[in-house]
Structure 1
């Protein structure tokens, strides 16, 4: 599903990608709004109790709609920002322009260079499957190490905050 290989005019490719991401992001926002409305009985609210969701709420509370636009340049955090926007009941008059701007950025990025990494991986595989496998293993190991590091650090921070009062100079948003 590489948009670089679609047999369509570029403008139509961008419009298609825009519609896809706009629809998905709007549905995530609506889910966030719906979950807050009566969601103590729904299993999906577990996502809304995690640290990433709280971080997204803090960012939206501090900076507003631009966070929604910029979240489209992230991987993984985008869903939490969209859920938090709905959960915080961001007004549609602010959400929709931010959503449109973010969707335009995402579709332009995805439609032009989004698959360059996959193409590079295919070229490396054709050159040397062993080298490609080693690179992929190193990337997976690095990502796993990073995730574990963040989880351990998050737990240490949670334990530290529970026992100590927050310092006045400590930043609220990390």
Structure 2
């Protein structure tokens, strides 16, 4: 079930809209990261405004994880990131930070954006809607979703703790 805004639209138009939306989102993230990185390397790091906030985010562990993914998988990480939740933005920003060729980035986006559009124009919205309905309409559905969220938070916490302990001179918690 797609949001009501798509009611009456033919499938091909929904698919095309989502494809170009996915491409535009990737390009915006890539170019924001690349511009701030270029600015930081050429000039003084931005201290105020959106540039400072983006520079701070780009220095974070999330974008570093995206860069590690690109280093491990190469440019194939870009279309593959469209099939994930949470890693998309990090990989796209990392591509900008690493200053991957803009043309290569755009070409690598195409299969990922096509897959993303196919998923969300068919079953993707229905899955999200079912999860929200389960959480809102059933106390057990809400408990299950909260349990999954707690498990993910625990796994992330343990992973960060392990990374901190692996650093030279680190003191364990």
TM-score normalised according to structure 2 size? 0.80
Tell me the residue number matched to 2:96. Answer: 86
Contact 1:3 1:111 in 2 (8 A): no
Larger deviation: 2-11 or 76-85?
Answer: 2-11
Between the aligned partners of 1:60 and 1:124, the Cα distance in structure 2 is 35
TM-score normalised according to structure 1 size? 0.80
For residue 79 of structure 1, report the CA deviation from its aligned partner: 0.3
Contact 1:71 1:81 in 2 (8 A): yes
- Structure 2 unaligned regions, length at least 5: 47-51
Tell me the residue number matched to 1:34. Answer: 35
- Structure 1 unaligned regions, length at least 5: 165-174
Runs of at least 4 residues of structure 1 off by over 4 A? 121-125
Between the aligned partners of 2:67 and 2:111, the Cα distance in structure 1 is 20
RMSD: 2.5
Aligned length: 160
Tell me the residue number matched to 2:49. Answer: none
Tell me the residue number matched to 1:77. Answer: 87
The yes-or-no answer on 1:46 pairing with 2:56 is: yes
- Deviations along 1:143-167, one digit per CA (max 9) or x if unpaired, are 1332233123312322222238xxx
For residue 122 of structure 1, report the CA deviation from its aligned partner: 7.1
The yes-or-no answer on 1:156 pairing with 2:146 is: no
